[in-house]
Structure formats: structure tokens, C-alpha cells
Amino acid sequence: MSRIGGFFVIFYLLLPAEGIIRKWMAGDAEKIFGFIRDPVLVMIYLLYFLRRRVKQRLWINVYIIFALVFSILALLQTTYYGLPLIAPVLGLRAYVLYVPLAFILGEVLQEADVRRFVVVSLYISIPIALLVVVQFFSPPSSPINKGTSDDVESIFVVIAGIVRPYGPFTFAQAQNTFAAMMVAVLIIAWEERQRYSIPPILLVLAGLAVMTMGALSGGRTFFGSALLVGGAYVLAGLSSGRWRSGIARLGSIVILGVTFLVVFVAVFPTSFEAMLERQAEAEAVEGSTVGRALGAFTEGAEALTTAPMFGYGMGAGNNGVQQFLGKQGLEFGETEGAHMINELGPIFGALALFVRVAMTLWIGWFCIRVNRATQDGAALIMFGFSGYLLFYAQVSLQNQLLSFCWMSVGLTLALCRLARGSARIVI
């Protein structure tokens, strides 16, 4: 395993570790541990740029320009609005600091590194699923749910008395994101079980763990993301030029879906009924699920007409900054588009969103091309997960989604490169 690959796994494991420390160990000092992965991130960057064989890449030149422009914008906004220093620091961290991780992982991760990530993910999914079960069947006031805090009202619930499990993470959304990522990891592990020498019992236990986390997720994020991953798995078969493979994979997804539904209804009827009730309440208030998802684009379009030309300040909408200023959270919008446009302004906000959309489309097309050329669909399967985060998720607003996004994009690019053998992605 490469040195960067080793630090990558540490970076990954610090995602659940952050939640454990902040929720059950750190008490009032918990916020500082939100930066627990940053030193490891910096170490990955140092190892990469100190390598003698690293040559100038197009992405490095583009990134330097991007980072300079955003740094100047943050300085001007902070000066003009008199924002606390924490605002541009957190803003630049969300918009700039984590981006190189994707390109570095895409360039340097080796097959042994990817295998270690897959195996580690399978192992940790089992105790995390057990924790989710305990949390789901415990009241919100239980220490396993509220941690060391006395704040019970802020704990997210499916319906009254039934929590949306946070797992070892700081928020239910991060737990749902982990569970959705595990769908992609599990499929890749199954496809590469011989190549990665994965014990069958581990696959079975991890599969049960993923079904359990999904059934008890209490959120629509998991189900939507799991459908995207399943669709990417079928597309990997169809776009490889082997129609039989695509049809077989479609049959497999149907069987897995039916199996999951049986587990959901028969094994966890409380969760199934709670989700049905929550869905009915949500549709009564918000409209259809599809309409709510598309509403994110409407909210972003509205922000284009209401936000100041150069925004309210990079990082000003961060939850920590909002608390520091004595304001309510999500003041600049709950969705990624509205949040970015309000912080950066219509010009730079729209530009940043365009870059993310363009990256999503490029990576997706590249995964399809690699799959057609090599019949290796692992990258396309991972893209089913990473593409959603890059295109739509609240990456600039939620600390742990920031890591999940750029880490998984890097994995997607690495799987593309590895599928092509010795070929390198030079961008």
C-alpha cells in the first residue's frame, strides 16, 4: 500500500471517529474536532507535491487560479461586511481546500489502496449497523442518541419518539451518506471478490449491515442514492457492449430490491410504518418527493435574483459562523445552489456551480468510456454515489459531506485509471 494510500484510509476512518469524539467524548470542546481530518489532508498534499516525479498538471494550474480568485473574493467580502475571521477560513476550507484531494487520489491510489479501502469499509459497516439498530430502538433522550449534550429537541426524528439514527457521525445525513456509499462499495466488492480476496462471510455480514442501515435510515437520501448506485450498476453492464450482462445486472438489482423490501417490511416493520407516515406528512407539507428535489433548482434560481452581486460573504452561511453571529442556521438556504449563490454572489456562485456540474458530466462520461473500453464497471458504480454528491449535495454546508464528496470523486477517478492498467489520467 502506498504512503498516500495509508493516509487516505486514516482520513476515511476519521469520519466516524470525528462523530464518536464529538458526540460522546469531547463535551463542550466538540467543535474543534470538526477539523480532525485536516492535518491528514495536509499530509496527503505534502506527500504528493514533494514527490520528485510529480510534473505540472493542467488541474494544478487551473486550481491555483481558482484558489487565488476565491481568496481575493473572500478577503474583499470579509473586509466589506466586517465578518469574523472564522467566516473566510471556513469558506475557503469548504470551497477550496478539499478540492485537490480528488485529483491526487485519482492519480496516485494503487489497487492495494482501493482494496484496503473496500475491506475496511466492509468491516466497519458491521458495528456501525449494530449501533444504528440500538439508536433506532432507543428514545431520543437516551445517551446513545443525545451523547453528552442535554439538547434533545434538535435530534432529528422520523416521527415522534423514533430517531433518525446518526450512527457514529455527527448528523443523520452523514450516516445516510455512508450507508449509500456502502451500497456502491458492496457491489464493487462482490464484482471483485476474487481479485480482492474478500472472504464470503464478510460479504454476507456487510450485506446484512447495509440492508439494516438502509431500512433504519429514516431518510429519503439513502433510498434515492441507493437507486442511483443501482442504476449505475445496470448502466455499467449495458454500456460495456455486453447486453446479457446488463440484463443480468438489471435482474440482480430487482432481486436485491425485493429482498431489501422484505427485510424492511418483515424484519423492521416499525421503521417501515414510520417511513410511510413521515412520507405522507412530508408530501402534505412539501409536495411530492420529486418536486422537493427539483425545488432545490428553483431556490437556486431565486437566489440569483435576490443575492448581492458579490454575495454576503464566503463562509457567512456556515452553521458555526451563524451561531457566532447569533443568527439562525440555514439563513442563506438549505440547498447547495441557494447557499453558494448567497455566499458568493450570482457571478461567482453560478461559476462555482457550473464547474461542479461540468465536472460531474465529464467524470460520468469518462467512466462510461472506460467501462466500454475495459468492461470494468467499478468506476461507473462508484460514480453512481460520487456523482450525486458532486452535482447536488450540500457539500459546502455540511462538514462531513465535504469529505465524502471529494474522497469519493478521487476514488472514482482512481478506479478509472486502474481499469486502464498502466495508463495515467493526465489533466
DSSP states of 404-415 as a string? HHHHHHHHHHHH
**Segment (H or E) for 323:** helix 319-324
pLDDT for 413 equals 97
Instruction: Confirm if 131 and 167 have CB atoms less than 8 A apart.
Output: yes
| Sequence letter at residue 223 | F
Cα–Cα distance for residue pair 247/66, rounded to 1 Å? 43
pLDDT for 55 equals 64
pLDDT for 360 equals 97
**Segment (H or E) for 162:** strand 162-163
Cα–Cα distance for residue pair 401/344, rounded to 1 Å? 20
pLDDT for 28 equals 64
What is the chain's Cα-based Rg?
21
Instruction: Confirm if 346 and 202 have CB atoms less than 8 A apart.
Output: no
**Segment (H or E) for 163:** strand 162-163
Cα–Cα distance for residue pair 327/83, rounded to 1 Å? 13
Cα–Cα distance for residue pair 318/303, rounded to 1 Å? 17
pLDDT for 397 equals 85
pTM value? 0.91
Q: Quick one: cell of 96?
A: 477550496
381-399 in b/e burial notation, b at 16+ Cβ within 10 A?
Answer: bbbbbbbbbbbbbbbbbbb
Instruction: Confirm if 313 and 78 have CB atoms less than 8 A apart.
Output: yes
Cα–Cα distance for residue pair 36/28, rounded to 1 Å? 16
The alpha carbon dihedral of 46, 96, 417, 186 has a sign of positive
pLDDT along the chain (427 residues), means of 10: 90 95 78 90 93 72 93 94 90 95 95 96 97 91 76 66 87 93 95 92 95 87 90 85 70 79 79 72 60 68 88 84 66 84 93 94 95 91 96 89 96 94 47
Q: Crossing angle, helix 378-391 and helix 399-419, to 10 degrees?
A: 150
Whose grid coordinates read 460531474?
A: 360
Query: Which residue, 27, 19, 93, 73, is CA-closest to 321?
Result: 93
pLDDT for 425 equals 44
If one counts every other C-beta atom within 10 angstroms of the C-beta of residue 269, the result is 10
Q: How far is CA 46 from CA 15, 49, 123, 167, in A?
A: 21, 5, 29, 32
At 9 the three-state DSSP class reads helix
84-104 in b/e burial notation, b at 16+ Cβ within 10 A?
Answer: eeebbbbbbbbbbbbbbbbbb
